[in-house]
A and B are shown apart, each in its own frame.
Chain A
């Protein structure tokens, strides 16, 4: 498997601010890769390094096998980009912008353009000045998905979209994936990430905190267990990897590191389990934990 995107130890400073501090990001060809992190974590900066708009101070960046800085225009014919805050030429219509960007990228698929305009319910005759944020976003999405490219760089592409359009967007991403395209999707909408992404990378303070499939990430964290037992289980406190046990009305609730789950369940069963629920952390919990640790540190 080749990497469509490869960032190794990328560093980028703006004055005294270190926006990227040794960022690693590997996106395998053909996968949909989620790119997560709190505001200001460096996600957009990483996208801009990949687009060759800004030059990394250190580390190595490879995009579709080439150098994103020196071969920018050449590589851009093989990718499409949607920013999170789309700014358009106020006097051009949406239709004109879509054609403009498509042609500059090296051509767009006419049938696809028509189909997407319909899917996103976009009126292409309106001047960009009169579009709402969501509609400007749709213009950029139609322009991007009208071209059948190898790589889609999407930086919070659905900000401002309504739920119906969110569904239309997800359909586009899945179609691209079926075609074998690679997608790097930066997003704060966790349901979207969960529905679309094969793997995710969590970036924090300019470097990668974690990277892997969603289930791998869950493995790394704790499972929440709620059990009712016929006898009290004070012994659960002594089990390694058990956190914050709470006892109430014959019920015990605790978090346990995934590696010690078996031991905890054995202790519980000795006390006679009458009811047991265990759920892996939701994506929300996963990220809150990741983001929260940053705030704490």
Chain B
């Protein structure tokens, strides 16, 4: 029996369990690219408009931060790729990460893999099966993406290159997730490591592209976008992606061979004999359970904000050095730095709602694991159980937003010596709280009334993310775009804070939370 015996059976199991999830990922990524291609063809229908677009994005630091260095933006296909590939690269990477961790460490943590390992299944079979499915899924994403681009009239070769870059990123992050899954004994820890690496790679690429420095080339996203589809196509940049994937896969195999089933790399140490005083409360327990989640997101987003803050001055200098850009921004109102900060703030606020959603969904996770039952059999009422947990979610959200504002403002002050924006940046970040909490409210509502459909909470997050990324390009009608709470809030510091929209969104958020809470009080607890 070899160490991968049984892998084909496990592949079938993975496919059976993900028969809905996987097609949703594939079609979702393809649909986003297809919709963008259509929108681009509708918006930029004259050579003048295309030239105008090229001039705008070349001068916009915010666009560089999000989408990378403009390549071939003088063609419709180049614009399509430039506009849509950020969503696609992040989506394909996260698809691989979730898929691999779900079928490796999560299986091991729940003990299900023990049952499988007792049959004729080799040590590396689970990793091989999960990575194989992720590779096939990534190839499909690449083919579908290329197919959609060709269908909208793009050249075949460039379309294939763009598809191939997506495929290679999917493969790379499948390998990264496989290695991460060996490190911690919990699936959440593995997701944190692998997801954190996706985030770090993305942030490095963004910073490198804003300041046009070497950081771009430290990030795999920089390599993928550096292939320049529809420009001077550079296929060879796919090689380092695959080489790095092989390296991580080797690491995963080496780590698996060295550790016991179920264990992480670090042996568990003895803990406290007695519980701290605050642990006997619902919020105390929730805080303890979500400590890692909260600290992870807080650190990641604060560091990201700090890095973005440190490039603020460069953005100003870049514009000042360029007479054409200066003229352009003077027409726009001159607030190039404010525009950059406003963009970063609203983007990070959207990302913060991912923390909020995972934090709120912990209620359901506790229920599914049977731990809510043990708690609710004590003197703890359902209401206090839910409110204790949501208190951690809400306060955590506010803290993260505050850290984002401070991180942005403090590093900007350090680099430029200008500490004036600090207060308005901190306030501007916290002013996004109602929108974050409205998205969290959707998650609470789902937990309260449709506990089996927690994926809907992530669909709500995916929608606000897409709306903030592609909403402008897709030119969504106000009724659709307005479903995103972020759409209603003024964007500080470019716009002034107004009470009415913030209050309205806050009231809606509170109503969603309250309705969810009612659901949790009247329904059966699993």
Chain A residues within CB distance 8 Å of chain B: 48, 51-55, 72-74, 76-77, 79-81, 83, 85-93, 95-106, 123-127, 129-130, 140, 153
Contacts and interface: CB of A to CB of B under 8 A. Distances in A.
B381 interface: yes
B363 to A, nearest CB: 14
A281 B377 CA distance: 37
Interface stretch (B368-376, B409-417, B511-519): B368-376
A53 B186 CA distance: 28
B379 interface: yes
Contacts of B381: 72-73
A246 to B, nearest CB: 45
A77 B380 CA distance: 9
Given A124-B273, A127-B268, A129-B185, A76 B378 contact: yes
B376 A53 contact: yes
B268 A130 contact: yes
B491 to A, nearest CB: 39
B379 A95 contact: no
B525 A104 contact: no
B21 interface: no
A71 to B, nearest CB: 10
A125 B273 contact: yes
Given A53-B525, A83-B373, A125-B273, A99 B382 contact: no
A103 B525 contact: no
Interface in B255-290: 268, 270-276, 279-282, 285, 288-289
Contacts of B285: 89, 100
Contact of B374 (A72, A83, A95, A124): A83
B452 to A, nearest CB: 12
B524 A88 contact: no
Contacts of A130: 268
Contact of A104 (B109, B186, B371, B375): B375
Contact of B382 (A72, A105, A126): A72
A85 B370 contact: yes
Interface of B: 109, 185-186, 268, 270-276, 279-282, 285, 288-289, 369-371, 373-382, 384, 522, 524-525
List the 4 closest pairs (A to B, CB-CB), nearest first.
A103-B280, A73-B381, A99-B275, A81-B377
Nearest to B381: A73
Given A99-B279, A100-B279, A105 B272 contact: no
Given A99-B279, A99-B280, A104 B378 contact: yes
Contacts of B382: 72-73
A53 B268 contact: no
User: In terms of DSSP, what is the predominant structure of the interface of chain A?
Assistant: mixed
Nearest to A85: B370
Contacts of A92: 271, 275, 288
Give the residue among B280, B374, B380 with the most A Cβ atoms within 10 A.
B374
Nearest to B384: A73
Contacts of A85: 370
Give the residue among A48, A86, A90 with the most B Cβ atoms within 10 A.
A90
Given A93-B272, A95-B274, A76 B377 contact: yes
26 contacts: A54-B525, A73-B376, A73-B380, A76-B379, A77-B379, A79-B377, A83-B370, A87-B370, A88-B371, A88-B374, A90-B186, A92-B275, A95-B271, A95-B273, A96-B274, A96-B276, A96-B279, A99-B279, A104-B281, A105-B378, A105-B379, A125-B270, A125-B272, A126-B270, A129-B186, A129-B268
Give the residue among A74, A106, A125 with the most B Cβ atoms within 10 A.
A125
Give the residue among A77, A96, A106, A140 with the most B Cβ atoms within 10 A.
A96
A127 B378 contact: no
B379 A126 contact: no
User: In terms of DSSP, what is the predominant structure of the interface of chain B?
Assistant: loop
Contact of B369 (A87, A97, A140): A87
Given A51-B376, A76-B378, A126-B270, A100 B275 contact: yes
A96 B377 contact: no
B321 to A, nearest CB: 52
A85 B384 CA distance: 25
B273 A89 contact: no
A53 B373 contact: yes
Contacts of A72: 376, 381-382
Contacts of B374: 81, 83, 86-88, 101, 140
Given A54-B525, A77-B378, 7 more contacts: A51-B373, A55-B524, A86-B374, A88-B374, A95-B275, A103-B279, A104-B378
Nearest to B276: A96
A105 to B, nearest CB: 4
Contacts of A90: 109, 185-186
A10 to B, nearest CB: 14
Contact of B524 (A53, A100, A104): A53
A62 to B, nearest CB: 17
Contacts of B384: 73
B262 to A, nearest CB: 9
A72 B281 CA distance: 17
A36 to B, nearest CB: 22
Nearest to A86: B374
A105 B109 CA distance: 29
Nearest to A147: B378
A127 B271 CA distance: 7
A95 B276 CA distance: 10
B200 to A, nearest CB: 25
A60 B289 CA distance: 37
A285 to B, nearest CB: 34
B271 A126 contact: yes
Give the residue among A55, A91, A106, A127 with the most B Cβ atoms within 10 A.
A91
Nearest to B186: A90
B206 to A, nearest CB: 33
B245 to A, nearest CB: 31
A113 B381 CA distance: 24
A232 B525 CA distance: 64
A288 B490 CA distance: 72
Nearest to A81: B377
Contacts of B282: 104
B5 to A, nearest CB: 28
Contacts of A123: 270
B288 A104 contact: no
Nearest to B280: A103
A140 B378 CA distance: 12
A20 B379 CA distance: 26
